[in-house]
Amino acid sequence: MKIACLLDEGFEDSEFKDPYDNLKAAGHEVLVVGFKAGPKVTGCHKEVAAAVELDLDHARPQDFDGLFIPGGYSPDHLRGDQRAIDFVRHFMTADKPVLAICHGPQLLLSAGVVDGRRMTAWKTVQVDLRYAGAHVTDAEVVVDGNLVTSRQPGDIPAFVATGLELLAAG
> Among all residues, which ones are annotated catalytic?
102
Instruction: Identify which of 42, 34, 33, 40 has the alpha carbon closest to the alpha carbon of residue 10.
Output: 42
User: Can you name the residues that pair with 67 across neighbouring β-strands?
Assistant: 4, 98
Instruction: Report d(CA 140, CA 150) in Å as an integer.
Output: 5
3-state DSSP assignment of residue 36? coil
Instruction: Report d(CA 68, CA 96) in Å as an integer.
Output: 11
Instruction: Report d(CA 62, CA 49) in Å as an integer.
Output: 27
Complete DSSP assignment for 72-126: BSHHHHHTTSHHHHHHHHHHHHTT--EEEETTTHHHHHHTT--TT-EE--SHHHH
